[in-house]
Amino acid sequence: MTPGHQIDGRAKFDIRQLTVSLADGSHILDDLSHTLTEGRINALIGPSGCGKSTLLRCLNRLIEPTKGSITLDGVDIANTDVLTLRARVGMVMQSATMFAGSIADNLAFGPRSLGLEIDRPRIKELLELVSLDPSLLDNDAQNLSGGQAQRVSIARALANKPEVLLLDEPTSALDPAATRTIESTLKRLRDELRMTIVLVSHSMEQVERIADTSALMLDGKIIESGTPEHLLSGVHHHWTEQFAKGELSSQKENQPN
Amino acid sequence: MLDTLSELLPRLPGILGALTLVGLAIGISYWQKVGLEKSMAVAVVRAFVQLIAIGYALQLIFDSDNPLWIAVIVGVMLTVAGLTSGKRAKSIPRARTIALLSISTSLVLTLGTLLMFKVFEPSPQSIIPIAGMIIGNAMTATSLSMARLRDDLKSSRSAIESALALGAPSRVAAQGQLRTALATGMTPLVDSTKTVGLIALPGAMTGMILAGSPPMEAVQLQIVVMFMLVGAAAFASMIATFLTYRQFFTKTHQLNL
């Protein structure tokens, strides 16, 4: 990697030579190494099929890699109890799936799975943190708008008091206003709670708006990484421009050697 | 063979009379272009040959009085049931093994209970037809539970992974799907037990009444049969659901579809 775009801060996740292969021998992730910085919004971008969601799902072990290792605070996550790891590393999916019951029931799900209880003041505090009206806590979670459901699913992940929040294209199904609310929530989590955030995004504009570090992926590899400004400047501008125009696609022949 | 056939001969006019109904059905199929004529003809021939064969086999077994024959015939029933049920449950790894295990465990538990309480005599005349009824119903319950669990896990993937990502163990994450699969396997028998005698007189009872037994005797037998089949379906559904669930989740709580 070219020098001059070092990110300040300690490594939260250190990903080393990670490979995820399918049964037919093809690779979703191909010998990928990357560092995700503590207390920052770390973006992963790239065209669909590039492996960014797979990489995200390796970080909380929803997928086990075929080869390679990931450390969290220097400890190999393969040697960590998987349920404890998932409580420390929260995840928000692309489209929020609400569990049956009220919003409060949804927020209590994580702590209950770990044998803990969560009280109503704490639930209200979490709803406020994601810019939702705390008086909604007894409402049925099935009748929420897409943006509200996504905010509940962020609050639900936060109920476990995670150190890291993984988000898989959390705004791809939302309108611009709902998108901005989620983005400001993520900045708040970084600034007020010093959380490490890993954001898979489809939008270079979003990455510019909120991310501190970014990595552009193609065909299971990281082809460029650094600050969003770095990605948009200098010799590497070509890749990013292609991606922003939607011309970067997952075909081997598009890659120069 | 000759004995059986000569016994059958006086009944031939009756069989031919009933066959005119099949002829009528084939005629309707041809007239309305349903395209089932060939299947119906094949089904009629198969039913005739299969039933004559089993009648002949049963006569031999009852005459020989060797318990080994019971094992052979029950073994054949189990194999056919396991293969049939396993074939239905496409895309479930080790489906045939799961089906065979569920059906045979259900048979051992149900038949064992009946023999322990001396509900039936351990003679070939009772064990073979009872084993047949248990296996048939256990097979249906197994197929229903396996297919339902597979379908529900696929359609609820995002809810299940949301729960797993919150630190829930796979058994908790798939709790709703497991319950539904179990209920699906058991519901047909629970329903027919509820309405027994109101809608149709069930097979065992009909047979006994047709053969000239007093209705109350036939009723007693039917009650035992219904209770036995509810148990058989419950055992089979439970084992099939559990074993199918184990195919789709890893020890480290990942959903593997």
* pLDDT of A12 above 60: yes
Q: What is the mean pLDDT of residues A187-193?
A: 96
Q: What gap in Å lies between CA A225 and CA A232, rounded to an integer?
A: 11
pLDDT of residue B5: 66
- Tens of pLDDT along A17-66? 999 999 899 999 999 999 999 999 999 999 988 999 999 999 999 999 99
* pLDDT of A3 above 50: no
Rounded to two decimals, the ipTM of the complex is 0.90
Structural tokens at position A39: 């207390």
* A226, β-bridge pairs: A214
Mean pLDDT of successive 10-residue stretches along chain B, which has 257 residues: 66 86 92 89 91 88 86 93 89 94 97 90 88 94 96 95 96 96 93 81 83 89 89 96 97 93
Q: Cβ neighbours of residue A144 under 8 Å, at least 6 residues apart?
A: A98, A103, A152
Residue A237 — pLDDT band, cuts 50, 70, 90?
low
DSSP string, A49-99: TSSHHHHHHHHTTSS--SEEEEEETTEEGGGS-HHHHHHHEEEE-SS--PP
Q: What gap in Å lies between CA A156 and CA B222, rounded to an integer?
A: 53
What's the gap in Å between the CA of B254 and the closest CA on chain A?
5
Partner-chain contact B253 A64, CB within 8 Å: no
> Which helix (H) or strand (E) covers residue A200, if one does?
strand A196-201
pLDDT of residue B58: 87
pLDDT of residue B3: 61
Burial class (CB in 10 A: 0-12, 13-18, 19+), A247: exposed
* pLDDT of A134 above 80: yes
pLDDT of residue B4: 59
pLDDT of residue A4: 41
> Which helix (H) or strand (E) covers residue A123, if one does?
helix A120-129
User: Which of B91, B153, B162 has the highest number of chain A CBs within 10 A, making it the mutation to test binding with A?
Assistant: B162
CA A133 to chain centre: 25
Structural tokens at position A105: 């029931």
Query: Pick the residue with more confidence: A251 or B197?
Result: B197
Report the share of chain A in percent with pLDDT over 70.
92
- Please tell me if residue A178 touches chain B, with a CB cutoff of 8 Å: no
pLDDT of residue A6: 60
What's the gap in Å between the CA of A92 and the closest CA on chain B?
8
pLDDT of residue B64: 85
pLDDT of residue A257: 37
CA B23 to each of CA A145, B10, B41: distance values in angstroms, whole numbers, following the listed order: 59, 22, 9
* A27, β-bridge pairs: A21
Q: Cβ neighbours of residue A126 under 8 Å, at least 6 residues apart?
A: A107, A155, A158, A159
Q: What gap in Å lies between CA B153 and CA B85, rounded to an integer?
A: 19
Partner-chain contact B161 A114, CB within 8 Å: no
Q: What gap in Å lies between CA B248 and CA B257, rounded to an integer?
A: 6
Query: Pick the residue with more confidence: B163 or A236?
Result: B163
